[in-house]
Structure 1
Amino acid sequence: FLIVDFEGEPAIHFTERRAKHSPLKDVAGMIHSFHYASYRSLFLNPQRKSEDINTLLPFIQLWFHYISGFFIKSYLDTTKDAPFIPNNKQDIQILLETFLLQKAVYELNYELNYRLDWIIVPLKGIKSIIEQNRLGQIC
């Protein structure tokens, strides 16, 4: 594994990146990283054919939802009763959805400007957040 990008989003001013925020913003950032990691294997595999994408997408989404759910559950179990996490599950849900959507919209802008062939990743992320919101399933 290679872990990079600890400095935060380059387009966001340094003082804003240093400001204190909810730890759920970092949880959302990790979930977002899982999302990109799942698609990275699809896009950067030199043996993949374009017709394979539709076949592989359900498996990519399954892995992403499983690993994200496991991560959220583990995080919330570990931080249970901590003063920095809301006690109300609905509040946690709203915060996570907000931070996930914020990150996905930021990435949509990035992909529109730099990597059009990756635009499906933030679009699928936004769609997933909206669908999960309707079903109440993020946490």
Structure 2
Amino acid sequence: TEEERAFMYERYAPDPKMRKNLGIRRRLAPLLGGDRRKIELLNGLLLSLPGSPILYYGDEIGMGDEYLLEDRDGVRTPMQWTEGPGAGFSDAPPQDLYLPLVTDPAYSPEKVNVASQVDDPGSLLSWTKRMLHLRRRHPVFGLGSFLALPTAKAPILCFLREHGPERVLVAANLSSAPVDVPLPEVGGSWVDAAGTDVVWSEAAPLHLEPYAFRWLVPAEG
């Protein structure tokens, strides 16, 4: 609706130059204020909702944008491979690059680049790789049905993906406060698909920190 679009613009694109046609021409990281929790949450939902997930180049490392450039060029700046000259994208002089590098200090190549993240297990790039590997281990995300599940907690999004014998339960906290979530009416006991010791059952509510999410599978036995 027009009201929803107005809210979206006010919240995520207050400067009219951030908008294009009816959409927003910004990258995910600056759109979310660089909040790692929110970036992971939205990518986690992207990878678990029905449809084919598409990660735009650079979003796997949290690249920024140059929204003052014309058209959609603000999100087409050179990939930031290193912190060196040309961000490792090119050794051409800066004035000869097809588009300028990101200049915002929070997202510049000196701050955000592949080389600084590739060997860091705590980096956004490493986290993204782990999530992609985990998704590939669960074909249900690409083939399964989708069932939204009501919960007793308003800020919680919960749904079930199911394909043949495989079932994955997804729970996401969309709020800025921690929440203990009672198990919806799916029964049984569920454990974290990533292999942690998290358990969700009727006797054990699921604790979710702000903007956290979990993929859970039925406990064996």
Please confirm whether the aligned pair reaches a TM-score higher than 0.5, indicating the same fold. no
Between structure 1 and structure 2, the one with the greater Rg is: 2
Comparing both structures, which one devotes a greater share of its residues to helix?
Answer: 1
**TM superposition score normalised by structure 1:** 0.30
Larger proportion of strand = 2
Larger RCO (CA under 8 A, 6+ residues apart): 1
TM-score, normalising length from structure 2?
Answer: 0.22
